[in-house]
Amino acid sequence: MEKDFRPYLSLLKNTSLFYGIDPEDLAAMLNCLQAEQKTFKKNESIYRVGDTAEAVGLVLAGKVCIFQDDFWGNRSILDHAGPGQMFGEAYACLQTEEMQVSVTALEQTEVLLRDVKRILHTCTSACSFHQRLLRNLMQTLAQKNLLLTRKVQHMSRRTLREKLLSYLSACSQACRSQSFTIPFNRQQLADYLSVDRSAMSSTLSRLREEGILEYEKNNFVILKESRTDRSDLPLE
């Protein structure tokens, strides 16, 4: 029996995975891929460290967090995924590799799960969309690699102040605006940058006192350049 994906077609046609695919073909394609829709409650695990992922996840509604805890319970947030964004694709493509990260719903979340083998291997019907789907998957993997590279760049800065300004500057540039909203609350931002929350909050307060930025919850405005974090300084 075919599933009814019509309520989500307007969202799916604009995602990176389904970019360029005729909206009229989407419903048939999702059934061909044996896509499955699941609902996860707030704080419910979708994947845990040690799992092997066979399905690529795509958020239909809600939000998930991709994170890693060390032996002592210290958490490092790698990324978030909201409506239209994917997760687990790298591990799903590897298939036998145990996951080194966990994925948890941050609120009640609807997820579309697709068996990666149905994406990587052409079906017996030889559906015309498969080649486009494979190209889109490769581009998405490349984009995720760039995001992780940027995270390393933020974390490699020497001071907490520089880590914060590097991250906030990148957000501003991505939005092409001095005003922007980040996807993290304070604890999540501290976990993302692998810094102490209290120290980070103090640093944010100092940056506001210096007139470098303003913020309210996760909404930020960069007001002027910080002279202690010039990216155009010559390398020594």
Average model confidence (pLDDT) across the chain:
86
d(CA 149, CA 142): 11
The answer to whether the predicted template modeling score (pTM) of the entire model surpasses 0.85 is no
pLDDT digits (tens, 9 = 90+) for 190-209: 999 989 999 999 999 999 99
pLDDT band of 99, cuts 50, 70, 90: very high
The backbone torsions φ and ψ at residue 171, rounded to the nearest 5 degrees and listed phi first, read -65, -45
Residue with the larger pLDDT of the pair 2 and 61: 61
d(CA 37, CA 111): 6
pLDDT band of 97, cuts 50, 70, 90: confident
What number is the average pLDDT over the span 74-92? 90
What local confidence, expressed as pLDDT, does residue 27 receive?
78
The single-letter code of the amino acid at 186 is: R
What local confidence, expressed as pLDDT, does residue 1 receive?
44
Residue 106 near residue 191 (C-beta atoms within 8 A): no
